Amino acid sequence: MTNDDILNALRTIIDPDFNKDIVSLGFVKNIKIDGGHVSFDIALTTPACPVKSEFQQKAQENVSRIPGVASVSVNMTSQSPQTQISSSPNPLSKIGSIIAVSSCKGGVGKSTVAAHLAQELSHRGFKIGLLDADIHGPSVPALFHFDNTKIYADQNNQLIPLEKNNLKIMSFGFLLGDAPAVMRGPILTRYVQQLLFNTAWGELDYLFIDMPPGTGDIQLTITQSVRLNGAVIVTTPQTLSLIDVARGILMFERVNVPILGVIENMSYFICDQCNKKHSIFGSQGAQSLKERFGIELLAELPLMPEFTLKVDQFTGNLFIKQAVDKVMMALGKSSILQKEVPEIKFNEKEIILSWKDGAVWKINNRDLRLSCRCALCANEITGEKTLQGKDIPTDIAPKEIIPLGNYAIGISWSDNHSSGIYPYESIKSLIS
């Protein structure tokens, strides 16, 4: 029995995200053979990887079949990156990953979704923190039924987060109470930094930041102060929400925060009389979001009476469980994938994308502008284009092009249209 025998037995275990075996991906580490006893580590991309138990069971079974193996010990670990921050000393050094939950528009249920994601992972036994970064309208205290609470500091003068069901929670609402937050930008950003860096989070697997709606000073302060491991964007299928999804994607990509995907809240409801599924904002769903932005739809959450309950009273929901699994899979995938960005050039006639494999794509400016599927250029309900050729100047040209991860480019055009996101899959069909 050799190390190669063990590695060969483990090559049949395929990671569904990368469609590669765990040996090729470098997950198998520290193989030890002691007589008939074999032990090794499987270091996954993130602690809450949904296929963790499946991998462990398959590894145990596969290696046990090797002649001469009497017992097998499989230690499941993670290679979750440590959070990098711009300040020193590092107050967040014991936090594995920081995930922003953003909506870019209020009223879409972002705080509720962030709270449910955090609580579900906490119920699974992980160490989780939740920061409510909305200074003007903190929602987390109400979601967890914190009334008239007091915040204390420890011996190091750090704020002690409140806990509910082993979930550590901090919100400006705990300090503010019911009073309105009447403050200007510089003061707001200082408060947010204090909540983030002056809270005694301790050791956490994940910290979720419930971002304030929009793309202003607070959002930029957070993204510039701490290296976020990913962002989840919450939206509804409604037109105005989807316009702001594009703005949110562009903001996060400008500051190099990976977009993990979109959670579509209030996607539909199931009638309790006819048991039919009704999509009140249209039924384009995953296909529409994928075509428009090029990023994955992580979950479609329906309208349910249970979502009106306090978060700590609402557990074990299948939709939330599936959403958490998808977020964790996207986070793990993002930590390994390298950003593949083509060299981008443009002139008054065309855009030229040159890829590392030697492929060169040339796309006519006017054709690409006409293909825009944003909420300003296409009907949200039917998907039918509302933008016509006569609406586009003959000399249309890009003013700025931003590469968006591995999935798209964002373009600001000379006709002042700046919310266009063009997935590479869609661009490929226009190559001249």
Three-class DSSP labels, 188-213: HHHHHHHHHHCECCCCEEEEEEECCC
Query: Binning pLDDT at 50, 70 and 90, where does residue 235 land?
Result: confident
Residue 8 token pair: 């060969």
327 vs 248, residue with greater confidence: 327
User: Is the Cα torsion angle 71, 10, 14, 117 positive or negative in sign?
Assistant: positive
Task: Report which listed range, 107-111, 113-117, 310-314, 382-386, is most confident.
Answer: 113-117
Percent of the chain at pLDDT > 90 equals 42
CATH 3.40.50.10880 fits 95-336, yes or no: no
Answer yes or no: is pLDDT of 218 > 90. Answer: no
Q: With 0-12 CB in 10 A as exposed, 13-18 as middle and 19+ as buried, what is 254?
A: middle
Query: Binning pLDDT at 50, 70 and 90, where does residue 411 land?
Result: very high
Cβ(352)–Cβ(345) below 8 Å: yes
Among 72-76, 259-263, 374-378, name the one with the lowest average pLDDT.
Answer: 374-378
Match domain 3-78 to its CATH number in 3.30.465.10, 3.30.1490.20, 3.10.20.30, 3.30.300.130: 3.30.300.130
Query: Binning pLDDT at 50, 70 and 90, where does residue 87 land?
Result: very low
pTM of the predicted model as reported, rounded to 2 decimal places? 0.84
Answer yes or no: is pLDDT of 282 > 70. Answer: no
Cβ(263)–Cβ(299) below 8 Å: yes
Cβ(220)–Cβ(250) below 8 Å: no
pLDDT tens-place string over residues 154-165:
888 888 999 988
pLDDT tens-place string over residues 391-400:
899 999 999 9
CATH 3.30.2020.30 fits 343-428, yes or no: yes
Domain ranges of the chain: 3-78, 95-336, 343-428
pLDDT in the model for residue 367: 92
Answer yes or no: is pLDDT of 88 > 70. Answer: no
**Beta partners for residue 14, in sequence order:** 21
